[in-house]
Copies of this chain bind each other. A is one copy, B any other.
Amino acid sequence: MSQFNIAWLPGDGVGVEVMEAAKICLDALKFDAAYTHGDIGWEFWCKEGEAFPQRTVDLLKQSHAAMFGAITSKPVKDAEAELVPELRGKGLVYRSPIVRMRQMFDLYTCLRPCKAYPGNPLNYQDGIDMVVFRENTEDLYAGVEFSPVPDDVKAVLKAHSKPFGHFADLPGDAFAITCKVNTKKGCERIIRAAFEYAKRFGYPKVTVIHKANVVRATEGMFLETGKRIAKEYPGIAMDDANVDAITMWMLKNPKNYGVMVATNLFGDIISDLAAQMVGGLGFGCSGNIGEKLAVFEPSHGSAPKYAGQYKVNPIATILAAKMMLDWLGETEKGTRLEKAVAAVIAEGKVRTYDMGGSATTLDMGEAIARKL
């Protein structure tokens, strides 16, 4: 029997292709795993009205970890039209499977390391090594939304919030509300995860990103929690920045940043920016980590326009596999895999189109595997 049960969820479009490349590397490492394919993606939405079927949920429950490719996602309105005719008009609503997975399995840490590997022609600057910790379960992602806004919601918000007076007189369909909901526990555990990581890997500080000057209740709580938890880590400095300002500082002085932590949506934004600075879509990898399960993925989407071409860069997915190995305690293999990636990048012979080369997705996977 294999040591690890890995759920293998290629998903849609180029997700399938980059996962193949990652598999080549995991096999070359002789990673002792049993891989079980899980259905997920647009196809299952269309056929079953469920992009993340219960059988896949069950598979995840029995897995040590999962690798996930990418998923096509479309606006709610367009999604309905693509259902098989029998399923239309039943009020089925498409919700992003990855967002649901994060919430369902309480994968509260979204870890996104963004490192400028030497020799990558796409680096914004040499020496960048940013690690974004993004809260992964709440915030504007909680799904607490009103459109139209019911009368009793209006009444209760008006009773408690003076600034809401301004909106309370509008008809319910003249506006919409999305509640940004953040819990103390949610803030604490992601910030603690960031500090623990800084401690373990020797980063001198943690940067708390927020918008406490305006979004006081929730982001203020996040910042205060950061200050409180920082006291538990006397060896690690804490600084903080507004989410708007940090986009400037990141470009201006990227080497000033290492571990960064933010609430869900701000983390989503900042981690994309950071990923772009170390090569973009082909390099942004992501771990969705809970206490019992973790799901690793490239941050990019299913790129319908490239699907079937085996063209996209699988490095993001291969680095996601490295993160999985680390999380499973297979750090020796994880380190070897990262070194192989770094070696191929440094050599500069095998490059996918985004890097200015013409290697295919699988060429890249194989080149990395050969270094193992």
Contacts and interface: CB of A to CB of B under 8 A. Distances in A.
Interface of A: 73, 75-77, 96, 99, 124, 140-147, 150, 152-153, 155-157, 159-164, 166-167, 170, 173-186, 211-221, 223-224, 243-245, 247-248, 251-252, 265, 268-269, 271-273, 275-277, 280-281
Contacts of A220: 75-76, 147, 176
Nearest to A148: B217
B247 A247 contact: yes
A224 to B, nearest CB: 8
Nearest to A270: B247
14 contacts: A96-B213, A124-B251, A142-B164, A143-B161, A144-B163, A147-B221, A152-B156, A170-B183, A175-B181, A176-B220, A177-B179, A177-B182, A244-B271, A252-B280
A173 B185 CA distance: 11
A365 to B, nearest CB: 23
Contacts of A164: 142, 144, 179, 181
Contact of A215 (B162, B170, B178): B178
Contacts of A170: 183
Contacts of A243: 268-269
Nearest to A245: B272
B272 A244 contact: yes
B221 A248 contact: no
User: Which 10 residue pairs spanning A and B have beta carbons closest together?
Assistant: A145-B217, A143-B163, A147-B217, A247-B273, A176-B217, A175-B183, A248-B276, A244-B272, A178-B180, A156-B156
A175 to B, nearest CB: 4
A230 to B, nearest CB: 15
B216 A244 contact: no
A63 B272 CA distance: 42
Contacts of A184: 173-175
Contacts of A96: 213-214
Given A143-B162, A247-B276, 16 more contacts: A73-B213, A145-B161, A146-B161, A147-B217, A147-B218, A152-B160, A175-B182, A176-B181, A178-B218, A211-B268, A214-B265, A215-B265, A245-B272, A248-B276, A248-B280, A251-B277
B269 A217 contact: no
Contacts of A144: 157, 161, 163-164, 167
Contacts of A155: 156
Given A183-B170, A280-B248, A153 B150 contact: no
A217 B142 contact: no
Given A223-B75, A248-B280, A181 B177 contact: yes
Contacts of A77: 224
A69 B145 CA distance: 37
Contacts of A271: 244
A192 B244 CA distance: 24
Nearest to A140: B215
